[in-house]
């Protein structure tokens, strides 16, 4: 095994710190939004905003903003639980809105 492949599989301490710091801030931001908005609107908001941020920053600060902040800020699993708690028509509209708005947000973020 070459040293180049070994160094790629082991993250540098600065990368770990960036993911940790971004993750802490993302989790705190998501908790703040969850406290401020009713279910499922808070989840929809964080997922759309997170998708926009990923589109805008994934090539600029992938560890801090991409993996760290957006990874902790967005929440696919919470969306799934919320879908199960909604009536069928509401769940279909919420799921479709999440996908359409998320894709549009990524596309818009990539243009920034």
Which residues are documented as binding site for Na(+)? 71, 74
Binding residues: 71, 74
Using a CB cutoff of 8 Å and minimum separation of 24, what contacts does 65-68 make?
Answer: 65/22, 67/19, 67/22, 67/23, 68/18, 68/19, 68/20, 68/21, 68/22, 68/23, 68/25, 68/26
Dihedral over Cα of 7, 12, 15, 19: its sign:
positive
CA distance 90 to 62: 34
């Amino acid at each position: 095994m070459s040293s180049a492949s070994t160094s790629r599989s082991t993250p540098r301490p600065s990368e770990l710190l960036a993911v940790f710091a971004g993750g802490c801030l993302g989790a705190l931001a998501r908790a703040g939004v969850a406290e401020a908005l009713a279910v499922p609107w808070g989840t929809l908001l964080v997922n759309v905003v997170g998708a926009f941020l990923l589109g805008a920053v994934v090539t600029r600060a992938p560890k801090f903003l991409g993996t760290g902040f957006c990874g902790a800020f967005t929440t696919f699993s919470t969306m799934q639980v919320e879908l199960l708690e909604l009536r069928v028509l509401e769940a279909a509209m919420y799921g479709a809105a999440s996908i359409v708005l998320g894709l549009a947000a990524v596309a818009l973020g990539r243009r920034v």
